[in-house]
Amino acid sequence: MKRHFIKLMTGIILMVIVGALVFTGCAEEEEPPPPPPPPVEEEEEPPPPPPPPEEVWEWPDKMNILSIGPTGSAYGATVAWTAQLQKETGMTIRQVSVENQRERYRHMKEGLFFTTPERFPDSLIRAEGEGFGRRDEGPWPQRIIWPVGVANSGYVVRGDSEVNTPYDLKGKKVAFFVWDPTKTSMKALLAWGNVSEDEVEWVPVSGIQASQTLIMEGRADTVFAFPNNPVWFEAEAAPNGIKWLELNSETDREGAERYLEVRPGYLFGPCIAGTPSSLDKWMLTSVAAYVTRSDTDTDLVYNVVKWLDENHDLYKDAHPWAKQMTREYLMELAETDFVPLHDGAVKYLEEQGEWTPAHEARRQQNIDLFTNWSEAWETAVDMADEQGIAVDPANEDWVSFWAEQSASTGLPPFQYFLGLD
């Protein structure tokens, strides 16, 4: 019985197991899991676009420069760098010589030339319309491009002359250039020597070479001159030779002050370059620079300034003045001169990290002054026309009228500065 029960239970268990297996086999087969997605290949970032091609400055086909004349130092200094610039760029650079200052001034005001070398004491006088009183002259917005050099100037006499100081000029023959009808440079010398205008004989002269002839032939006793001009080296080699009047502001401060009352804007000091007789002789000192109009193309001025700075080694030994044609002297002009730098020059100095807010403040001050003087001039010319006053520097009525009008505006005069402070 017991054995029969065990068999029965064993059979039941087997049936359960078989049933379970059958049931499992009959169940719906489950779907296999989806295959894993293929690996995603990371797309490479496209390379950055190439930088735009560097813009290459295209120099103009030609450039016209107005100069004082082949006998002047500025002419030789200009040849020194323009010869190299022409060679490097392929430009045709033409330097036109005009000795007459009035003509040069008008040509630049009319925009006929890119630039001209300018001595700033003379520029100061012309900026205020003194002695340059034709309707096409007068103040105009000048701008500095680059320094030309440090210039000495003074008053020459023949070597055997009895004139040795400004105090010896009473009764003598004093030459004046016809482009300076106000005779400012010579009146200032007379003021130093306490000699009145009617105590000398006035001798007109048309140019630099002619002035040398007058002195050497004894037809004039003195004339304003540059000691490094070749005509005076030639005169020094002549039998009588030449000599220079002493203008020592340290030993005769009162005389110097009288001079500056008539002709402001100069410094006095020993001559550093010129004929042997002029060296270390005290005379006038001034800085010359290339100037242009305010509306001259900014890119052109920028590239000329950049070239002059980066290529100084190419021309610095070609002329004595060329050694001083440097960025350092340009900065000195920016800090001491009343003529503002051109936008193109400022752009280059900004790139070099040289230009500061103080420099720009001084420049804007000078720009405003030039603008106001120019507007005052145009107004005075219009008023003179309405009143029938001939706008001519030889017309005393016009000279007086302009003096009164410019004074009535309350405009401060142009002046030099000792620095940015």
What integer pLDDT is reported at residue 382 of this predicted model?
Answer: 95
The residue that leads in pLDDT, 99 or 191, is: 191
What integer pLDDT is reported at residue 234 of this predicted model?
Answer: 96
What integer pLDDT is reported at residue 276 of this predicted model?
Answer: 96
Q: Tell me the one-letter amino acid at 334.
A: A
The residue that leads in pLDDT, 352 or 329, is: 352
Closest CA to 60 of 330, 301, 402, 322: 301
Q: Tell me the one-letter amino acid at 56.
A: V
Among residues of the chain, what percentage have pLDDT more than 70? 85
Q: Is the pLDDT of residue 351 over 80?
A: yes
The residue that leads in pLDDT, 22 or 402, is: 402
Q: Is the pLDDT of residue 264 over 60?
A: yes
In DSSP terms, which residues pair with 117 in a beta bridge? Answer: 290
Structure tokens at 179: 């482009």
pTM greater than 0.75 (yes/no): no
What integer pLDDT is reported at residue 26 of this predicted model?
Answer: 47
SS3 label, residue 157: strand
Average pLDDT over residues 122-130: 54
- The values of phi and psi at residue 372, to 5°, are -65, -40
Q: Is the pLDDT of residue 28 over 70?
A: no
Domains, the chain: 62-150+286-409 (3.40.190.10), 153-285 (3.40.190.10)
Closest CA to 96 of 124, 68, 117, 61: 68
The residue that leads in pLDDT, 92 or 52, is: 92
What integer pLDDT is reported at residue 211 of this predicted model?
Answer: 95
What integer pLDDT is reported at residue 8 of this predicted model?
Answer: 54
Q: Is the pLDDT of residue 294 over 90?
A: yes
Q: Is the pLDDT of residue 135 over 90?
A: no
Q: Is the pLDDT of residue 70 over 90?
A: no
Mean pLDDT of the chain: 86
Distance CA(334)–CA(341), nearest Å, equals 7
Average pLDDT over residues 310-316: 97
pLDDT bin (cut points 50, 70, 90) of residue 22 is: very low
CA dihedral 207, 82, 107, 117 (to 10 degrees): -60
Residues 195-244: pLDDT tens digits? 999 999 999 999 999 999 999 999 999 999 999 889 999 999 999 999 99
The residue that leads in pLDDT, 416 or 109, is: 109
What sections of 203-265 are H helices per DSSP?
208-216, 230-236, 253-262
Q: Which of 82-91, 173-182, 261-270, 344-353 has the lowest mean pLDDT?
A: 261-270
Q: Which of 25-29, 72-76, 190-194 has the lowest mean pLDDT?
A: 25-29
Is residue 153 within 8 A of residue 172, CB to CB? The reply is no
Where does residue 162 rank: exposed (0-12), middle (13-18), buried (19+ CB within 10 A)? exposed
Distance CA(13)–CA(5), nearest Å, equals 12
Q: Which long-range contacts (CB under 8 A, 24 or more apart) does 294-298 make?
A: 294/141, 294/142, 294/143, 294/342, 294/343, 294/367, 294/370, 295/111, 295/141, 296/111, 296/114, 296/115, 296/143, 296/342, 296/344, 297/344, 298/342, 298/343, 298/344, 298/347
What integer pLDDT is reported at residue 123 of this predicted model?
Answer: 53
Buried (b) or exposed (e) across 230-266, using 16+ Cβ within 10 A?
A: bbbeebbeeeeebbbbebbbeebeebbebbbebbbbb
What integer pLDDT is reported at residue 32 of this predicted model?
Answer: 64
What integer pLDDT is reported at residue 6 of this predicted model?
Answer: 57
Closest CA to 315 of 78, 75, 81, 79: 81
Is residue 157 within 8 A of residue 243, CB to CB? The reply is yes
Closest CA to 337 of 268, 287, 269, 283: 287
Is residue 355 within 8 A of residue 308, CB to CB? The reply is no
What are the Cα distances from residue 109, in Å, to 60, 91, 127, 336? 21, 24, 11, 23
| Residue 38: CB atoms within 10 Å | 6
Average pLDDT over residues 103-125: 78
Q: Is the pLDDT of residue 23 over 50?
A: no
